[in-house]
A and B are shown apart, each in its own frame.
Chain A
Amino acid sequence: MTSPTNGLRCRECGRLFGSKALYVCEWCFGPLEVVYDYDAVARRVDHARIAGGPPSIWRYADLLPADPVGAVDLGAGYTPLIRADRLAAELGLGELWLKDDTRNPTGSFKDRVTSVALTRARELGFKVAACASTGNLANSVAAHAARAGMECYVFVPADLERTKITTTAVFGARVVAIDGVYDEVNRLCAEIADERDDWAFVNINLRAYYAEGSKTVAFEVAEQLGWELPDHVVVPIASGSLLTKIDKGFSELGLVGLVEGDRRVRISGAQAAGCAPVAKALAAGAEVPTPVRPDTIAKSLAIGSPADGEAALRAVRSSSGSIAAATDAEIIDGIRLLARTEGIFAETAGGVTIACLAILAREGVVRRDERVVACITGTGLKTVEAFGDTLGASAVIKPSFDAFTELEESWRNPK
């Protein structure tokens, strides 16, 4: 099967381009969007065809811009959708589900987008994979590049969690740490991408293809709910791409007849208070987020100048959603709440999602009568340092039963 796409279209000015590696609209620098022939997809796709596909994002290849035959594939996607009754009870919610993307090959949802981007990159003849990253993408691109036998360069802010550097370098990637925030790393990469046209920067010149991978979150949620749409989805916002594409994914399911009707799923966003340009724009009634300088422990969400911020705002507003922002303390509490109620250890971005879900539930934005899905986008094992020394052994004792009973006594009767 070949890719079902009909090239790229500028989201800003509407100009059309071929299906190549284009970085932005050549006229106005606007973001590019893959164009599909939905009628053709609708004629081909049905529930049985998808059920017969692999247990990965590639079961939805009919709505992805790359050929699944020969995909750069480590098994991204088709992660569990878990009913979270204990967490729901804590938050005063009814039917709550967690999309557990900690269970991807490199521990985050980025494997979805990377698999699509590098598959397309190989189709276009690129031999070098690269990215600007806050860490999760670095892990993912390095792993998928290794799998594909591609040379790999990743650019990260120098203050990134140590674990994310180790878990990138191990795949043989060259890791370049930049003395600056993510937005500065990104800018440098845009300049490098401009000068090295044989490099596939997954989130720059391959961005239009890359971003499409995030739609699979929506496809999976609907399939796992028995081909029904949820009422409300809560998604963390960094660049805004994930939220925008989940919204697009739900609409596409209606367009190609995989779900009944065209009911709109409400989409709400989650940001860290230390980097909340999109939440602020929503509150201020602005159409475009004003860039901020990030200062938050949620480093994977620390994008002060979100490229898809405006699109994310539109998706939230038009679906009657909202956006909350969580402080560092609330983020840590969110991680711990999720861990102790549902047994899932999420990274700081997951803490943001849970903390914001709690805020939105308190505000009555996310309602008890709704079927709610919260997206847990990455594993906590990568950001253990967010806890510092606050979590450790409860006690250190001698290897004797007496010492243990003494300890139990001290727990029962704290001094």
Chain B
Amino acid sequence: MSIVVRIPSQLRPLTGGKREVVVEASTVGEALDDLEAHHPGLKARIVDETGQLRRFVNVFLADRDVRFLDGLDTPVQDGQTLSVVPAISGG
């Protein structure tokens, strides 16, 4: 499956400035692996040493927080968009 990953400004130095990158994957985790294969260093910024999503990063698949789905095991469908967004909050 081919999906679009939206890259936040903090990580664009690793994608040569690109805002969006197309990857091949069947799960969110695989999408991050494919991202890493083409843009080394990227995955470590999103996932920590234990393989968990970093605490201050959110990943949305088709606008849904993957933490509320199956996390990195969440299956992806062809043409979906995966957004990597720093977690911030106000009120």
Instruction: Assess whether B88 is in contact with A204, with CB atoms less than 8 Å apart.
Output: yes
Known contacts A191-B83, A194-B8; A29/B57 CB under 8 A? yes
Interface hits, B38-87 → A, CB 8 Å: 45, 54-58, 60, 63, 65, 67-68, 83, 85-87
Question: Quick check: is A300 within 8 A (CB to CB) of the other chain?
Answer: yes
Known contacts A29-B86, A291-B67; A134/B91 CB under 8 A? yes
When chains A and B are docked, how far (Å) is the Cα of A308 from the Cα of B91?
Answer: 11
When chains A and B are docked, how far (Å) is the Cα of A381 from the Cα of B6?
Answer: 41
Instruction: Assess whether A137 is in contact with B91, with CB atoms less than 8 Å apart.
Output: yes
Given A29-B56, A303-B89, A308-B89, list of 11 further CB < 8 A pairs?
A: A12-B56, A23-B88, A24-B88, A26-B10, A133-B90, A197-B9, A203-B88, A204-B90, A241-B89, A303-B91, A305-B58
When chains A and B are docked, how far (Å) is the Cα of A238 from the Cα of B8?
Answer: 25
Instruction: Assess whether B90 is in contact with A132, with CB atoms less than 8 Å apart.
Output: yes
When chains A and B are docked, how far (Å) is the Cα of A305 from the Cα of B59?
Answer: 13
Instruction: Assess whether A305 is in contact with B91, with CB atoms less than 8 Å apart.
Output: no
Known contacts A24-B10, A26-B10; A203/B56 CB under 8 A? no
Question: Quick check: is A288 within 8 A (CB to CB) of the other chain?
Answer: yes
Binds B, one of A55-63, A83-91, A167-175, A182-190: A182-190
When chains A and B are docked, how far (Å) is the Cα of A182 from the Cα of B45?
Answer: 26
Q: What are some 10 contacts across the A-B interface (CB < 8 A)?
A: A24-B56, A27-B45, A28-B56, A31-B88, A136-B91, A186-B88, A186-B90, A190-B85, A291-B68, A305-B89
When chains A and B are docked, how far (Å) is the Cα of A241 from the Cα of B89?
Answer: 9
Known contacts A187-B60, A191-B85, A288-B55; A203/B90 CB under 8 A? yes
Q: Looking at chain A's contact residues, is the secondary structure mostly helix, strand, loop, or mixed?
A: loop
Question: Quick check: is A301 within 8 A (CB to CB) of the other chain?
Answer: yes
Instruction: Assess whether B56 is in contact with A31, with CB atoms less than 8 Å apart.
Output: yes
When chains A and B are docked, how far (Å) is the Cα of A232 from the Cα of B45?
Answer: 39
Question: Quick check: is A215 within 8 A (CB to CB) of the other chain?
Answer: no
Q: Which of B10, B58, B91 contacts A301 (CB 8 A)?
A: B91
Question: Quick check: is A30 within 8 A (CB to CB) of the other chain?
Answer: yes
Question: Quick check: is A207 within 8 A (CB to CB) of the other chain?
Answer: yes
Q: Which residues of A line the B interface, CB within 8 A? A: 12, 23-31, 131-134, 136-137, 182-184, 186-187, 190-191, 194, 197, 202-204, 207, 238-239, 241, 288, 291, 300-301, 303, 305-308, 310
CB distance from A235 to the nearest CB of B (A): 13
Query: Which of the listed residues B8, B60, B65, B91 has the most CB atoms from chain A within 10 Å of its own CB?
Result: B91
Query: Which of the listed residues B9, B56, B86, B90 has the most CB atoms from chain A within 10 Å of its own CB?
Result: B90
Residues of A within 8 A of B8 (CB): 190, 194
Give the bracket for the number of chain B residues in contact with chain A: 20 to 34
When chains A and B are docked, how far (Å) is the Cα of A136 from the Cα of B91?
Answer: 8
Residues of A within 8 A of B91 (CB): 133-134, 136-137, 182, 203, 238-239, 241, 300-301, 303
When chains A and B are docked, how far (Å) is the Cα of A197 from the Cα of B12?
Answer: 14
Query: Which of the listed residues B10, B57, B63, B83 has the most CB atoms from chain A within 10 Å of its own CB?
Result: B10
Residues of B within 8 A of A28 (CB): 45, 54, 56
When chains A and B are docked, how far (Å) is the Cα of A251 from the Cα of B30?
Answer: 46
When chains A and B are docked, how far (Å) is the Cα of A301 from the Cα of B88?
Answer: 15
When chains A and B are docked, how far (Å) is the Cα of A30 from the Cα of B57?
Answer: 8
Query: Which of the listed residues B6, B9, B45 has the most CB atoms from chain A within 10 Å of its own CB?
Result: B9
Chain B residue at smallest Cβ distance from A240: B89
CB distance from B34 to the nearest CB of A (A): 21
Instruction: Assess whether B85 is in contact with A187, with CB atoms less than 8 Å apart.
Output: yes
Residues of A within 8 A of B87 (CB): 24, 29, 305, 307
The 10 tightest CB contacts between A and B, nearest first, are: A203-B90, A307-B89, A238-B91, A29-B56, A239-B89, A29-B86, A24-B86, A239-B91, A194-B9, A29-B57
When chains A and B are docked, how far (Å) is the Cα of A310 from the Cα of B56?
Answer: 11
When chains A and B are docked, how far (Å) is the Cα of A207 from the Cα of B55?
Answer: 18
Interface hits, B13-44 → A, CB 8 Å: none
Query: Which of the listed residues A24, A204, A241, A300 has the most CB atoms from chain B within 10 Å of its own CB?
Result: A24
Residues of B within 8 A of A134 (CB): 91
Q: Which of A133, A136, A137, A207 contacts B88 (CB 8 A)?
A: A207
Known contacts A30-B56, A187-B60; A137/B89 CB under 8 A? no
CB distance from B9 to the nearest CB of A (A): 5
